Structure 1
Amino acid sequence: MASPGDDNAELGTASAGGTSVSQVEPEVVNNSVYRPLDGSQNHQREKLQVLGAIQILNGATILALGVFLGSLQSIFHSFRHFFFTFYTGYPLWGALFFIVSGSLSVAAGKKSTRMLVQNNFGMSFASVSIALVGLVFLAIQLAVNKYSLKECQSSQSRDLCICMGILSNGLMSLMLILTLLGLFISLSVIALWCSENSRNRREAISSPSNSV
């Protein structure tokens, strides 16, 4: 015949067992919920580093084209109208903006501190503005080249003028493509940080319900 003390001990053991089960189950559920989020965050950081590296290479290429354009300008003084973009300084300061923005993206992807994230976000916005200004300058240069090539028909150095016009059009077209690439990368970085911010807000809102 079981005593009341034995019944209480069994109830206590059952309740203790029930408590341990209830404590273990949420941990399993929480782990299964949050592991994919960590993986997606790492994937976004890797993507940010790749975009930053491409942006650095993009800015370095624009800078190299600007140096080549400046060397042509120093040799052919009589064809200054083909080097309007060089006088604006866009190949220099535009390239520097892209390089700094890409460097911050790589640094923020490796270590996402608050200061790096804010600086990268702000520099990406600045790079978008710089890219838009550069597109305007390059479009004006291409329009000027088209008009200058027509004027070359009555020039004494017609062949050289046509050659310089074709060379300038090729450089401006390549720089235009690289500027569009820089614009696309800057917008992609902004989109990544916006999605990361919205995901963090959703986690902050859902965390009280999970803890309850």
Structure 2
Amino acid sequence: MTSSVSASAGGMLVVTQVYPPNSQHQGQQVCEGMQTFSRAHLLAVGTVQIIIGAMVFLFGIVTFATQPSFMVSYSGFFVWGAVFYITAGSLTVAAGKSFNRCLVKTTLGFNVVASMASGTAIILYTLDATIQFCYYCPYTNQMQGVSGVLAVFQLLEFIVSITVSAFACKATCNCCR
């Protein structure tokens, strides 16, 4: 830390302090865990979560409008799952831009919820893709294919949310007091 003192002709005293970039941020002590969390490319990961949430919602609308499936459309997962993913992604992007510890803890909580929801969705979409509930319905094979693709999206969301949760836990648990 460097400081300088200068006096003006009018008798005013000006004190300037410069903090090193890795030890202080906006007057707050930033610990090593928070620095690791901010360097983890969370902006891109949060964007992926938002895109997965939008894809789940849009594919869910198509599935519900074309041929409602027993497991997915009637459970309403395409709505509430998409809300969880978009919220978790938005918080991940915000935490990637900020060093706010409370925001990182909120990101951790929402990503844990998103990982539990995606774990449930993996089971639902896999069952929906493998079990044929309606033998005489049109577009059954196509909708099973859509459910298979959505199961892959759910697996991706599960991996991403677990990864973000691990970074956030490391950032908040290994932080200085």
TM bucket, shorter chain: 0.7 to 0.9
Match of 1:189 in 2: 164
Comparing 106-115 with 56-65, greater Cα deviation is found at 106-115
Kindly indicate which of the two structures has a greater share of residues assigned to strand.
2
**TM-superposed deviation, 1:164:** 1.4
2:125 to 130, 138, 154: 138
The one-letter code sitting in structure 1 at the alignment partner of 2:60 is G
What's the secondary structure of 2:99's corresponding residue? Answer: coil
- Answer yes or no: is 1:120 the counterpart of 2:107: yes
The one-letter code sitting in structure 1 at the alignment partner of 2:116 is S
Match of 2:143 in 1: 168
Residue by residue over 1:123-143, the C-alpha shift from the partner in whole angstroms, topping out at 9 and shown as x without a partner, is 011001111111121122123
Match of 1:87 in 2: 74
1:62 to 53, 56, 59: 56
CA contact (8 A) 1:83 1:168 kept: no
Match of 1:104 in 2: 91
Residue by residue over 1:46-89, the C-alpha shift from the partner in whole angstroms, topping out at 9 and shown as x without a partner, is 5111110110011101111011112203xxxxxx5x45311111
Match of 2:12 in 1: none
Query: Please, what is the CA RMSD of the aligned residues?
Result: 2.8
Match of 1:16 in 2: none
Q: How many percent identity over aligned positions?
A: 26
Give the ranges of 4+ consecutive aligned residues of structure 1 lying more than 2 Å apart after TM superposition: 40-46, 194-201
Match of 1:200 in 2: 175
What's the secondary structure of 1:84's corresponding residue? Answer: coil
Partners of 2:166 and 2:36 lie apart in 1 by: 16
- Please, which runs of 5 or more residues in structure 1 have no aligned partner? 1-30, 74-79, 156-160, 205-212
The one-letter code sitting in structure 2 at the alignment partner of 1:92 is V
**TM-superposed deviation, 1:195:** 2.6
TM-score, normalized by length of structure 2? 0.73
Partners of 1:96 and 1:45 lie apart in 2 by: 26
Kindly indicate which of the two structures has a greater share of residues assigned to helix.
1
Partners of 1:122 and 1:198 lie apart in 2 by: 13
CA contact (8 A) 1:44 1:192 kept: no
CA contact (8 A) 2:52 2:157 kept: yes
TM-score, normalized by length of structure 1? 0.62
Total equivalences in the alignment = 150
- Please, which runs of 5 or more residues in structure 2 have no aligned partner? 1-19, 24-30
